């Protein structure tokens, strides 16, 4: 869809700074329901309007949802893309109003794709998966501290470890319940976990953090997850490919799955061995396996097909 009006919204916890192109209008509203009503009225008709916000730790979700319900095209973009765009435009100064204008300019020049926003259930699942990740990280840090702690602190750390273990167990139960209560997610979970190497954590992370899985083609899903090889050729430096960007939580889940899959999944294990035999570094081979596993999962969800030892060619 072609847009003619472009809105950039810089999101803070307390307020939203808004810029509109090509009119070069700006305003600031409170980041709550009252502010959303004021903003929607100020923007006017939603037709032909593209609104761009950065993903800012969840503070953008309520505003994005309100604008989408009001009929505006809304795109939530990666902050790194916007920073690179600002540099390319020579915009080094940084204020909330300038950031909003840069977002509007990014919207006008790039016109990012408008995708459906997650509903309340999806946002809850994403929050639960993120919370489990936080608890697991804290548990790892506290366990490391306990191993080196003096006796005076050992009891305190031990109590905290026990509390974290209980909270982690509860988070896992809450995620299981959330997925089992949805027939769509339950079927996805069963399909994903039928693949050797893909366990609960990987499956739940993909369902929550990569809802596009099974809906995009293989190149698109690999790029979205951040496991697509990208050219990095310049002068004498050529032939090298790198992966970057994408969704860090998805890549971390795929990495852990591949560590297991290189041992227990016959397709991934054989692929890894072939890459190593060709002289590929272990890290390069593992990333290639992550991409292959993701493409297999994408194909399975698209075709509603459970794991088979010999799947159709996917790459």
Percent of the chain predicted with pLDDT > 90 = 66
Q: CA–CA separation, 191 vs 298, rounded Å? A: 11
Indicate if 299 and 198 belong to the same structural domain.
yes
What confidence tens digit (pLDDT) does each residue in 32-42 have?
999 999 999 99
Residue 14 and residue 100 in one domain: yes
Which residues lie across from 294 on neighbouring strands? none
In a domain, 23, yes or no: yes
Average pLDDT of the residues of the chain: 89
Phi then psi dihedrals of residue 143, to 5 deg: -65, -40
Provide the pLDDT confidence category of residue 116 given band limits of 50, 70 and 90: confident
Which of 59, 76, 110 is the last residue in one of the domains? 110
Distances in Å between the alpha carbon of 32 and those of 7, 16, 62?
Answer: 18, 9, 8
Q: Give the model confidence (pLDDT) of 270-291 as tens digits.
A: 999 999 999 999 999 999 999 9
Classify strands 230-231 and 241-242 as parallel, antiparallel or unpaired: antiparallel
What is the C-alpha separation between 63 and 150, in angstroms, rounded? 48
Q: Give domain status of residue 220, yes or no.
A: yes
154 and 61: one domain?
A: no
Residue-range definition of the domain harbouring residue 51: 5-110
Residues 201 and 298 in one domain: yes
Give the end of a domain, one of 55, 84, 110. Answer: 110
> In this structure, what DSSP letter does residue 237 have?
B
Query: Could you tell me what percent of the chain has a pLDDT over 70?
Result: 92
Q: Give residue-wise pLDDT tens across range 118-176.
A: 788 888 898 999 999 999 999 999 999 999 999 899 999 999 999 999 999 999 999 99
Residue 236 has pLDDT above 80, yes or no: no
Last residue of a domain, one of 181, 199, 215: 181
Q: Identify whether residues 194 and 172 lie together within a single domain.
A: no
| Beta pairing class for 49-54 and 73-77 | parallel
Determine, yes or no, domain membership for 47: yes
Please state, in angstroms and rounded to a whole number, the distance separating the CA atoms of residues 29 and 14. Answer: 9
- As for how many domains the chain has, the answer is 3
Per-residue CA distances from 24 to 38, 98, 105, 144 (Å):
18, 11, 10, 53
What does the DSSP 8-state code read for residue 113?
Answer: P
Q: Identify the pLDDT of residue 312.
A: 47
* Structure confidence at residue 238 (pLDDT): 54
Q: Does 241 score more than 80 pLDDT?
A: no
What digits encode the pLDDT tens for the residues 171-229?
Answer: 999 999 999 998 889 999 999 999 999 999 999 999 999 999 998 899 999 998 989 87
């Amino acid at each position: 869809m072609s847009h003619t009006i472009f809105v950039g919204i810089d999101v803070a916890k307390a307020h939203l700074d808004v810029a509109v192109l090509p009119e070069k209008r700006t305003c600031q509203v409170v980041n709550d329901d009252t502010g959303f009503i004021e903003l929607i009225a100020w923007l006017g008709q939603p037709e032909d309007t593209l609104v761009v916000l950065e993903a800012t730790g969840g503070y953008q979700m309520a505003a994005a949802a309100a604008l989408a319900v009001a009929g505006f095209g809304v795109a939530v973009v990666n902050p790194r893309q916007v920073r690179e765009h600002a540099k390319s435009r020579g915009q080094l100064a940084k204020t909330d109003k300038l950031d909003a204008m840069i977002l509007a300019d990014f919207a006008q020049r790039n016109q990012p794709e408008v995708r459906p926003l997650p509903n309340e259930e999806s946002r809850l699942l994403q929050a639960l998966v993120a919370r489990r990740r936080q608890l697991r990280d804290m548990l790892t840090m506290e366990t490391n501290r306990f191993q080196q702690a003096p006796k005076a602190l050992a009891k305190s750390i031990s109590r905290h470890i026990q509390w974290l273990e209980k909270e982690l167990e509860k988070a896992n139960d809450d995620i299981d319940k959330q997925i089992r209560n949805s027939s769509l997610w339950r079927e996805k979970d069963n399909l994903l976990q039928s693949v050797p190497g893909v366990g609960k954590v990987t499956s739940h992370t993909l369902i929550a953090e990569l809802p596009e899985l099974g809906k995009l083609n293989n190149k698109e899903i690999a790029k979205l997850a951040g496991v697509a090889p990208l050219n990095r050729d310049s002068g004498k430096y050529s032939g090298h490919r790198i992966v970057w960007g994408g969704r860090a939580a998805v890549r971390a889940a795929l990495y852990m799955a591949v560590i297991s899959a290189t041992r227990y999944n016959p397709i991934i294990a054989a692929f890894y061995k072939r890459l190593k035999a060709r002289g590929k570094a272990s890290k390069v081979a593992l990333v290639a396996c992550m991409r292959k596993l993701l493409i297999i999962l994408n194909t399975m969800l698209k075709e509603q097909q459970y794991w088979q030892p010999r799947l159709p060619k996917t790459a």
